[in-house]
A and B are shown apart, each in its own frame.
Chain A
């Protein structure tokens, strides 16, 4: 019973979330002065006049950088837990723990060297 009751809070939040933008926008509509002009209806782009279509093709290099970032970023997932338990593990099996991680990082460095040598890290 209490389990389903906890969904009541979710429902309340859901309704509030719906109500907030509706109320705010409706109130704004009644309170603001309404004098549209061509200048005002241009979509806002940090003060610069928008040009062209909003669907532009990005340079393929963004993808390469993103890929490289994702792969190396995700590897830190292994470094963090290792760092947290490092002291406890070292008491158990000594420097072998460090060696294990160095082994892992060594393979990552090969990967990085690969990216470097293949000129993925340069923007030319």
Chain B
């Protein structure tokens, strides 16, 4: 170890700032705008009705599926949609807690397909199994938190 902890902290904080500006901010801005479009078009209400029974298994309203669908493309955007839903009264504190691990367990899979499975040369034949496993992981995590949160 050759740096003092203050310098080390600053290196980490700088990484945090970069992630905040380059990743979090554009994704959350997009998520908020998409939420608005879906609300204006009435899609949110429709999704809420259609997925209500399924999401009910996990103690969530139907609209919460938008969090999962978005998280699958980008974790930041998924988190943004969740916050937006919370702010508009769509989900409660408990429901936000239930969603949090799921956002990451099935998060950003489309990106990680290239960045992880592609780079590590995991044979393509097994990719579908890995996708399904991740989604099942999320569902189990939501179920666990439904009981304990």
A and B assemble together: no
Q: Which residues of A are interface residues toward B (Cβ below 8 A)?
A: none
Report which B residues bind A (CB closer than 8 A).
Answer: none
